[in-house]
Structure 1
Amino acid sequence: MKKFLSVLAALTLSVSMLAGCGNKANQTEPSAVPESSQAAESASETVSAAPEASEQESSTAEAAETAAVTGEETAVRVMALKGPTAMGMVKLMDTAEAGPVNGNAYEFTIAASADEVTPKLVQGDADIAAVPANLASVLYNNTEGKIQVLAVNTLGVLYIVESGDTVQSAADLKGKTIYASGKGSTPEYALNYILSSNGIDPEKDVTIEWKSEHSECVAALASDEGGIAMLPQPFVTTAQSKNDKIRIALDMTKEWDALQKDAENPSALITGVVVVRSDFAAENPDAVNAFLDSYKESVDYVNGNTEDAAALIEKYDIVPAAVAVKALPYCNITFIEGSEMKEKLSGYLSVLSDQNPKAVGGTLPADDFYYSR
C-alpha cells in the first residue's frame, strides 16, 4: 500500500505532461494530455479499495494459464487519454468491436485525464495504456520496474502560433513575449531546450507568461496584436476555427529535430508512449506482440485515411471529426518500437532530466524499461 501511495503522490508532479494542461473552463475543448484535478485524492481512494498486488498477480497468472490450456483468447484491457495519444488506436478499437483480433479480446477505455489511467495500471486493472512519455518513466521508477514502454505513439504536438507574421525561425523569438501553459512540466522544459539551444536565454532574452489553461493563451493572442503563444494540437486547430488570424509559425518537433540532426544518438520530441505492465508482458508475450502488430496497422490506417479516421475519432468521442480532419496531419501520430524507440525516448528523457530529474521520476530508467520482442 505504501508503494502505491508513493507512486500516486509522484504523479501530481507529472500528470501535466508535454502539451499537457487541459482546459478546465470548457471540458469539451480537446487537449493533447488533459490536466489532472485532485489526482492524489482520487488515486488514493482507488488504491485503498484495490486488492493486494500479490492477489492480482496470482489471478492474472491463473487466467493466462487457463487461456493457454483451453486455447481461449487473451483478455487485454487498454486505456488511452482523450487526444492524440488515443487517435492512432481508433481503427483497432473499431475492428475489436466485432470480436477478438489476432487472439486478443480487447476492452478499450478512453480516459479524460492521466489520473484516471495511472491508478488502473498501478493496481493491475489495466494491462496496456497510452500515457505521456515522461509519466511512463515516473511510473517505472515508482513501481520498481513494473512498467515497460512498448512503443512511441505520438511525437511532439507543440506549436508556436501568432496572429502576425514576425516569427519565421526560432531565432525570431528573441525579445518576444510568449504565452504558454504547462509551467513546471514538460512544455516548459521543451521550450527552454529549444530556446537555449538556439542561443536564447529563456530568463533574459524572452518574456514567457505562463497561463493555467490553453484558452487563456488564445485570449491573450486576441488582445495582443503582436502576441505569440505555444499551443498543442488539436487545440491549435480549435483555436484557428475561432480566430482565422492565428497561424502556425514554428513546429516544435521540427525545431527539435534540427537541433538533433548531427547528434550521435539523436533524440526526438515525444508526447506519448504505449506502456504495459511488466507482469502482463512476461505472462502474455504473444498477446503483447499481437497487440503491437495490430496497433501498428491501426496507426498506418489513421495516417493514411484522414477522413475515415476522423469519423472514428469522433465516434469514440475523442475530438469532433471536423477538428480531427484538420488536426491529424499535425498530431505526429506514429509507431516506433525496438532500438529506435529506445534511442529517441532515452534521449528525450535525458533532456528533461537535465532540467529537472523529478520530471522523469528522479532518475533515468534502466534498459529493462524498454520492451523488446
Structure 2
Amino acid sequence: MMLAGCASASAESKDGDEVTEVRLGYFANVTHAPALIGLSEGLFEDALGDVDLSIEVFNAGPSAIEALSAGAIDATYIGPNPAINTFIQSGGASARVIAGATTGGAALVVRDGIAGANDLAGATIASPQLGNTQDVALRSWLAGEGYETSISGESDVTISPTENAQTLTLFQDGQLDGAWLPEPWVSRLVIEAGANVLVDEADLWPDGAFPTTVLLVRAEFAEEHPDVVDELLEGHINSVKWLDKNAEEAASVINGALEDATGKGLPDDVLDRALEHVTFSVDPHADAFQKLVENGTVAGTQKEGSIDGLFDLRALNALLEKDGEEPISAAGIGEE
C-alpha cells in the first residue's frame, strides 16, 4: 500500500467520532484515469484537507470488493458488476455508488484466424477476474451467440480469468486465442501483440454508452463519515473536470501516474489509442444497471436480486447544483 496524505489532524464524523484517514482503491488502468489524475494532481488531497488518504491498487473488481467488504478500504473505483454483486449478496447493506467515472473502453480482442463468433468454438479467452465487469460481458455475449460457458466444468469456450499483464504475455506466446479487457490492455494487445478487435463493447449498447468505472463507497463508512465522503467526491469531480479541461496534457499525466503505480508507463501510441475509446464523466449511467444485472445472471457469476437503493447521488447532485450543472439521474434505483 502506498500513502498520500496531508497532516495528521482529523475530521469529525456524524456520530462525533474523529476520522483521520480515508482508504481508497483503484486499478492502474486508463479506465481509472479519474483516480490517477486525482492522486497525481493532488486533487483528493486538496479536497480532503486534514484527512489523510491511503491508496491500494487492485487488478480487478472482485479483489477490491473483498477488501471493501472486509473493511480494509472505505471506497474504490470499480466496474459496475462487482458493485452490483456485493449489493445483492449483502441485501443492500454493503455499499453505494456515489458517482460515475468512466464510460467505454472495453473490447474482445482475438488472434488472427478468428473472424467471427462462429470461430470461437473450443477457443480459450481470458478475462481479468471471475465475476469482474469484463468477465460478465464476455460470458453474457457468448451466451447470446449460442455458446455455453461454465465457471467450473466443461464449456464450449474456455474462459480463463487471468491478471492483465499475464494475459498480454500468454497471448504473445500463443497460449490464448483472445481476451475481453479494459483499456489500456485492449490497445496493448492490438498494438504490441497484433490482436484484432472482434467486439467493441460500445457496439452492444444504445448510443455506445456503457459504464466501465464507478466510485463505490462502503455503506457503513458513508453513514458514519458523510463529510469525508463529500470531500472525496469533490476531489473526484475535480479530477473529471481536470480531464475535460486538459485533454492535451492528460496523456502525459496519466502515463506518469501509471508509472508511479506499476513501475512502467505506456508507449505513446498505446495510450493515445486507449484514450480514444473512453469518456470520463460523473454520470454512472444508472439506466444501464438493470441490463448489467441480467448479464450477471446469464453469466452465472451473480445471484438474482434487487439493486433498488444501489445509488446515492444526493451529494453528487448537491455539488453539481452548486456549480450550476444539471443533476444526474439514479434511474429509479436509488436516491438522487
TM-score above 0.5, yes or no:
yes
What does 1:334-353 correspond to in 2, within 5 Å? 334-337=280-283, 341-353=285-297
Match of 1:282 in 2: 223
Which runs of no fewer than 5 residues in structure 1 stay unpaired?
1-59, 68-72, 262-266
Aligned counterparts of 2:272 and 2:107: Cα–Cα separation in 1: 15
Match of 1:80 in 2: 26
Paired with 1:94 and 1:285, the residues of 2 have a C-alpha distance of 24
Q: In 2 relative to 1, CA 154–104 (structure 1 residues): closer, same or farther, beyond 3 Å?
A: farther
CA contact (8 A) 1:239 1:246 kept: yes
CA distances 1:288-346 after superposition (whole Å, capped 9, x unpaired) = 23322321321343462222222223233375143762454156353344xx6321223
Larger fraction in helix: 1
Structure 2's unaligned 5+ residue stretches are 1-10, 150-154, 315-336
> How far is the alpha carbon of 1:180 from its aligned partner?
0.9
- Quote the residue 1:149 is aligned against: 97
Tell me by how many angstroms 1:207 deviates. 5.9
Superposition map of 1:1-373 within 5 A: 65=16, 75-84=21-30, 86-96=32-42, 99-101=45-47, 103=49, 105-113=51-59, 117-144=64-91, 145-162=93-110, 164=112, 167=115, 172-177=116-121, 178-182=123-127, 185=131, 187=134, 189-195=136-142, 197=144, 200-203=145-148, 208-211=157-160, 213=162, 215=166, 219=170, 223=174, 229-232=178-181, 233-243=183-193, 245-251=194-200, 253-257=201-205, 260=206, 269-302=210-243, 304=247, 305-317=250-262, 320-322=265-267, 325-326=271-272, 328-329=274-275, 332=278, 334-337=280-283, 341-356=285-300, 359-360=301-302, 362-373=303-314
- Render the CA deviation track for 1:159-196: whole Å, top value 9, x for unaligned: 233454874xxxx4334455412496454542344355
Measured in 2, the distance between the counterparts of 1:111 and 1:334 equals 20
Letter of the aligned partner of 2:290 in structure 1? S
Relative to structure 1, is the Cα distance of residues 328 and 294 closer, same or farther in structure 2, using a 3 angstrom cutoff? farther
In structure 2, give the amino acid aligned to 1:369. Answer: L
Tell me the SS of whatever aligns to 1:149: strand
Identify if the C-alpha distance between structure 1 residues 157 and 98 changes in structure 2 by more than 3 Å, giving closer, same or farther: closer
Structural RMSD (CA): 4.0
SS at match of 1:250: strand
Aligned length: 287
The question of whether the paired residues in 2 share the 8 Å contact of 1:161 and 1:231 is answered with: yes
* Code of the aligned partner of 1:180: I
Aligned to 1:24: none
Contact 1:154 1:333 in 2 (8 A): yes
Contact 1:179 1:228 in 2 (8 A): yes
Identity %: 14
When residues 292 and 247 of structure 1 are mapped into structure 2, their CA distance, relative to the original with a 3 A threshold, is same
